[in-house]
Amino acid sequence: MVKSLPPRSEVPKQDTWDLEPLFASSEAFDKALEDIEEKAASFHQQFKGNVRDAESVIETLKAYSALYEQMVPVSTYASLSLSTDQTNDEAQMRSSRFGSVSAKIGSQLSFVTSELLELPEETLKAASGKSAEFENFLKHVLREKPYQLHPEAEKALAAYSSTFNAPYGLYNTTKMVDMAFDDFEASGKKYPLSYVSFEGDWEAEPDAELRRAAFDAFSEKLKDYQHTTAKTYDMKLQIEKTTSDLRGYDTIFDYLLFNQEVDRSLYNRQIDLITEELAPHMRKYAKLLQKVHGLEKITFADLKISLDPSYEPEITVEESKKYINDALSIMGDDYLEMVERSYSERWIDFAQNTGKSTGAFCSSPYGYHPYILISWTGRMNEVFVLAHELGHAGHFYNANREQNIFNARPSLYFIEAPSTMNEMLVANHLLQNSDDPKFKRWVISSIVARTYYHNFVTHLLEAAYQRKVYERIDAGQSVNAGVLNNLKRSVLEEFWGEDVEITPGAELTWMRQPHYYMGLYPYTYSAGLTISTQVSKRILSEGQTAVDEWLEVLKTGGTKTPVELAQMAGVDITTEQPLRDTIAYIGELIDELVSLTDEIEAGK
């Protein structure tokens, strides 16, 4: 039974992450922040106006990268300490203070890019030739040249960065601090409800009456905050539109895709092809859920239930280690050592508590080990979630060691490939180790319901909705709660058709996703999973050769474009074929679920 969440102060220490490698105390954090302020002022005084030739470019960038590295633990500590308890006043103030100082420093350092772009291109190429470590950074600087503003304008925009990022902070405060859920009632009994318990437990509750009652209560509370949340989101959208126009991009899409190093054809393909070709497969899966659970109708509130809830085992954090280690052993000893350290050195925050951020994420600060946030529910599908986040950790564990701070992070388009790869490795491992039809059905349904539903359906429908929103913004319009509700409902109805009833409250799911405050992020999940599906098939058929090539891709970091990284792994994403193959593979999995269900039902 779902319990009320405890305050952070009552959570067992072993279930929390250890932030001491970043800073041993808040006092140490304060001292580091003061030190960075001083060094930024000194850097500004020493280098502003003195970036003149190849040698001074190199000297400036060396000092710039060192300063950048010093910002990493401060930024990470401020963010992570708030993410585990957004009700904590000290963490709120620390995060706000860092935002203000960061904006001030960003304004002071904005001259670096401006002065680099004032130099002749030959000078920058000469600097690249003399110092290969900055070649990639300078290449990206040159790409920005057409959209660069006057140095004073750049300085002013940088000074406002904290304000421009405020909508995301406001969204989280509304969601995790102000939004308090009352108990809900079903069959004459009362049950506790929270953001974390709904998304971690109630959404997958086998009892239809309980599940739907929880969905209704959850949606009613979201509705109370829909207008504030919509206004917050519109504020973010208008900032992006103004920035896009100021910098001279043709459309807001071009602005948001610029740093991803992909064009709109790759972006639109993910949304259009999946919406059109995956929908029939997922409708078949929804009807299978309806049949197995004996539901008169299947609604939006029923789509996250397990195909066989009675079979899904519960699992402890300690038990998860064996599954993770066995599944990821193919990645080699170095990778497994990282996994072991993530448990033993408390890189992972497993706790469930009030004020904690929802969902799961991995933060990979350069020069430090990664940190993973997850709210452990004890359900077996958490193994897939943890494997996913360890995929991010493994990616940057490798990239950060091999690349400098400017080169470590790849395009957002590629970022979800290593994470979803680990989910595929877990699934492949489990399937290879049992012939039991019920176990096979559970594993395949986990792949469909967790890996593909989450990344290819949930995030894809967010992307389709997000595209409609940005089309309005690009046309000079704004949004409010009514507009956003209608857009979200239209996307859900188009995908699910007549097969799934889109119940009242489903339209409010746009309020639940923080990714909307991170540009064109949602579609990248399906992009990454397209790549990882194809590579995981290579690993199954080719073994170590494919693994070695994949590890090289991880080490490459951001020194290549998404197309080049995929090519290194043997996947050509310039064509539709990998995506069509992946959609066909999902269809095959769902067909197998239908066959296994028939086999199991016949054997009863």
- Tens digit of pLDDT for each residue in 1-10? 556 789 999 9
pLDDT at 395: 97
Domain assignment present for residue 97? The answer is: yes
Per residue in 120-179, pLDDT tens?
A: 999 999 999 999 899 999 999 999 999 999 999 999 999 998 899 899 999 999 998 899
Average pLDDT score over the chain = 93
Does 22 fall in a domain?
A: yes
**Domain span including residue 159:** 8-164
Q: Does 160 map to a domain?
A: yes
Predicted pLDDT at 517: 94
Alpha-carbon distance values, 444 to 280, 307, 525, 594 (Å): 18, 10, 19, 11
Structure tokens at 186: 């079903």
Rg (CA), the chain: 24
Residues in Cβ contact with 218 at an 8 Å cutoff, skipping those fewer than 6 apart: 181, 193, 198, 202, 505
Q: Is residue 108 part of a domain?
A: yes
Q: Is residue 441 part of a domain?
A: no
CB count in 10 Å sphere of residue 147: 15
For 519-557, write each residue's pLDDT tens digit. 999 999 899 999 999 999 999 899 999 999 999 999 999
How much is the average pLDDT of 311-320? 87
What is residue 604's predicted lDDT score, i.e. its pLDDT? 65
Phi–psi pair at 560, nearest 5 degrees:
-130, 160
Whether residue 378 is predicted with pLDDT greater than 60 in this model: the reply is yes
Q: What is the pLDDT of residue 3?
A: 64
Could you say which DSSP state residue 331 is in?
G
Helix (H), strand (E) at residue 307: none
The number of folded domains in the chain is 1
Position 436 scores a pLDDT of 85
- Is 184 a member of any domain? no
Looking at the DSSP bridge assignments, the partners of residue 348 are 372
Mark out the alpha helices in 190-263 (DSSP H runs): 195-200, 208-224, 226-247, 252-258
On the question of pLDDT at 362 being above 60, the answer is yes
In a domain, 129, yes or no: yes
H-run or E-run covering 336: helix 333-344
Please identify which residue in the block is written with the tokens 């300490």: 81
- The answer to whether residue 88 sits within a structural domain is yes
Quickly list DSSP for 398-439.
Answer: HHHHHS-TTTS---TTTTTHHHHHHHHHHHHHHHHT---HHH
Quote the pTM value: 0.88
The CATH number of residue 130's host domain is 1.20.140.70
